[in-house]
A and B are shown apart, each in its own frame.
Chain A
Amino acid sequence: MTATVKYDEVEAGQEIPARDFPVSRLSLVMYAGASGDFNVIHWNERIAKSVGLPDVIAHGMFTMAQGGRFVTDWAGDPGAVVDYGVRFSAPVVVPDDDQGAVITISGVVEEKLGDNKVVVALKAYSGDSRVLSKARAVVKLA
């Protein structure tokens, strides 16, 4: 995978470049099966719209997990995430077309803690919507 990020080489304020994570209806069907979360609003357009949603929306835990993966890939050590919390601030709307949606995630090293841990603040957008807010991960670096 990526090179391991070293605690001593990281500074508060350091930015982690944005990455795009595509989400299609296929992703949601696969995630429903893999996660055991079959809530209809994640695959049934008719019911999603009937409850006032614009269309089928991605599982919040899917979006959250992509944020975790973003941090993990950056740290280069999948054993590194210690704490991770988010607020679900807007849905990721996934239209039934060839493109689907894109979740764009970027981060910044907000604070260096002791014991080789750093706090990474994440931003996640889908289009103009901020889909995660107050998203922070505590990561233990090498």
Chain B
Amino acid sequence: MTTVSDGDLEALAERLIAEGEVRGEPAADPVNLPMIRHWVDAMGDTNPIYTDPVFAAAGVHGEIVAPPAMAQVWTMPGPRGGKTTRSTVDDLLAAVNAAGYTGVVATNCEQTYHRYARLGDLLTPATRLTSMIGPKLTALGQGYFVTWNVTWYDADGEPVTEMLFRVLKFRPRTRGESGNGAASREAAATAAREAASRPAAPGATAQAEGGGPAKGSAGPGSGGGRRPYPLKPAKNQDTEFFWEGVAAGELRIQRCGDCGALRHPPGPMCLACRSTATGYTVAAGTGEVYSYVVHHHPPVPGRETPFVVAVVALPEGVRVVGNVVDCAPEDVGIGLPVRVTFQAMDDELTLPMWTPLDEPAGGTR
């Protein structure tokens, strides 16, 4: 499957980035009221500045304007494509797919509105491939962050809107060949290819946004018919409340039923007053890395190395051991603010893990 190496990709990216801004074809139609009306209807936005000429005439623009978030709509190619010009983004994404990074999630979108588009504006996109960063290990799998910028120009060549768009192109995690794993992997690859063919068009943007790691495609054995995660936590009468909390999306910390002292991991007796009466409190779910290791070896069933194991200090006053995910191991450090995230490991097991509270640009969450 892999016919393009990472080295090839990086060389190609460098070449394509050097091409700079490449103009696309102008929009099929100028900015027009029917398309605006369909769009604001879909949004449920009844602001008359976008549709009522009398109201709009009295507003700051003095005429009807298009909602700024319609920026990329004017030059979307539609499901039948029909684009004839090549783009550096298309070229790179095709190669990234060929290298096996067939999954895609959008991670960032930033728009700058120089002015609001007016009825009759004919917009022409120009696309610049900006960067390809990676390969990085993310919760979705190994992948590259690909960033491009689009500027839409009006008929006078003045910029109307600029957009930065970033996607993570990832190699879907491999699973065992048993069950329907292979079939669903093929389906995933097909859908991912379909998705990946879209954002490359200048202005064609949205695809599998926010395929967040906790929500399915991240866990080992994602897709239909998950492979059971091989390591199961030991549950007993002392820890049962903790795992019930995890299943309910809560991080529960044991609290002494008499003196109220918190303790973790859970145990049968309070270390402060020796009471065996227990209860729990629900932690806020934030903390900071107190210490950590990066596990490279030996291999752990069901896991991909390297991964981070951290001791996280909670504001409640206890420390909890867990993985830090959604960022590269080198981005983890002592004092890193984190929040809890519940990761589905298979159809039944969920594990609490930690994710940077304020991830650097380019993370997946």
Contact = CB atoms under 8 A, between A and B. Distances in A.
Interface of A: 1, 21-22, 27, 30-31, 33-42, 47, 49-54, 57, 59-66, 68-69, 72-73, 77-79, 81-93, 128-129, 131, 133-134
Contact of A90 (B45, B116, B214): B214
Give the interface centre of B43, B164, B195 by most chain A CB atoms within 10 Å: B43
B113 A34 contact: no
Contacts of B192: 51
A112 to B, nearest CB: 20
Nearest to B61: A79
Interface of B: 35, 38-39, 41-45, 47-50, 59-61, 65, 67-70, 72-73, 76-79, 105-113, 116, 164, 184, 187-188, 191-192, 194-195, 198, 204-212, 214-218, 222-224, 249, 358-359, 361, 363, 365
A71 to B, nearest CB: 10
Contact of B187 (A35, A47, A92, A133): A47
Nearest to B223: A52
Given A40-B191, A50-B184, A85 B210 contact: no
A50 B106 contact: no
Contacts of A72: 47
Per CB-CB distance, the 4 closest pairs between chain A and chain B, nearest first, are: A60-B209, A36-B76, A52-B217, A85-B110
A82 B206 CA distance: 21
21 contacts: A34-B41, A34-B73, A36-B73, A38-B78, A41-B207, A41-B208, A47-B191, A57-B209, A61-B72, A61-B206, A61-B209, A62-B206, A65-B69, A68-B69, A78-B60, A85-B110, A85-B111, A87-B107, A87-B108, A88-B107, A88-B108
A38 B359 CA distance: 30
* A interface, over-half SS: mixed
Given A47-B191, A59-B206, A34 B38 contact: yes
A78 B6 CA distance: 45
A78 B55 CA distance: 12
Contacts of B249: 128
B211 A53 contact: yes
A126 to B, nearest CB: 10
A51 B43 contact: no
A22 B43 CA distance: 10
Contacts of B361: 87, 134
Contact of B47 (A34, A78, A85, A92): A78
B209 A49 contact: no
A27 B42 contact: yes
